């Protein structure tokens, strides 16, 4: 009986790749962005203003941003209309509280583990 489970393939049974998925395409016209980058960046100042002793330098702010973005879902948009729609959907109080809590955790981590001297 042939091995029907793709997870059990061996060197003798290579997995066939879909050429459509492996073709490199031109992405020069791509205008997609993760709106969470801007939303988080805008909220970092507010959280930092409530935490004593956390450095506010660009390096620390970038570390906070990276930590938060790695712990929340991305929200990619391709148009201004998509951005506005997504921002409206993300603007409820519970989302704001959850995001503030994640940012606060990242701020506290960076405060305790700064990557620079001083």
DSSP assignments along 24-49, one per residue: ----TT---EEHHHHHHHHHHHHHHT
Residue 108 belongs to some domain of the structure = yes
Whole-model pTM?
Answer: 0.72
Residue 4 belongs to some domain of the structure = no
Residue 39 belongs to some domain of the structure = yes
For the chain, how long is the longest CA-to-CA vector? Answer: 67
Element (DSSP H or E) covering residue 99: helix 93-112
Domain tally, the chain: 1
What tens digit of pLDDT does each residue of 29-64 get? Answer: 778 999 999 999 999 999 999 999 999 999 999 999
What tens digit of pLDDT does each residue of 89-113 get? Answer: 888 898 999 999 999 999 999 999 9
Full residue range of the structural domain in which residue 57 is found: 30-112
Q: How far is CA 101 from the centre of its chain?
A: 16
CB 38 within 8 A of CB 69: no
Residue 10 belongs to some domain of the structure = no
């Amino acid at each position: 009986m042939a091995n029907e489970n793709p997870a059990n393939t061996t060197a003798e049974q290579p997995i066939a790749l879909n050429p459509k998925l492996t073709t490199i395409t031109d992405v020069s016209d791509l205008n997609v962005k993760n709106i969470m980058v801007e939303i988080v960046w805008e909220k970092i100042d507010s959280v930092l203003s409530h935490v004593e002793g956390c450095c506010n330098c660009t390096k620390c702010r970038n570390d906070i941003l990276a930590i938060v973005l790695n712990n929340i879902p991305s929200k990619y948009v391709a148009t201004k209309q998509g951005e506005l729609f997504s921002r409206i959907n993300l603007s409820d109080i519970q989302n704001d509280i959850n995001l503030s809590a994640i940012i606060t955790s990242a701020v506290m981590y960076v405060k305790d583990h700064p990557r620079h001297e001083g």
